[in-house]
Amino acid sequence: MSVDVANESGVEVDEARLVALARHILDRLQVHPLAELSVLVVDEEAMGKLHAKWMDESGPTDVLAFPMDELRPGRDDDAPPEPGLLGDVVLCPQVAAVQARSAGHGSDDELDVLCTHGILHLLGYDHAEPEAEREMFRLQADLLASWQDRGGRVGGDGAP
Q: Does a structural domain hold residue 28?
A: yes
Q: Does a structural domain hold residue 26?
A: yes
**What is the β-pairing status of strands 85-91 and 63-67?**
antiparallel
Burial class (CB in 10 A: 0-12, 13-18, 19+), 156: exposed
Q: Does a structural domain hold residue 50?
A: yes
Closest CA to 51 of 40, 39, 63, 41: 63
Write the pLDDT tens digit of every residue in 29-78: 988 888 899 999 999 999 999 999 999 999 999 999 999 866 556 655 55
Q: Does a structural domain hold residue 75?
A: yes
Neighbouring-strand partners of residue 5: 39
If you ran DSSP here, which 8-state letter would residue 59 be given? S
CATH number at residue 75: 3.40.390.30
Q: What's the total number of domains in the chain?
A: 1
| Domain encompassing residue 59 | 2-149
Q: Does a structural domain hold residue 57?
A: yes
Q: Report pTM.
A: 0.87
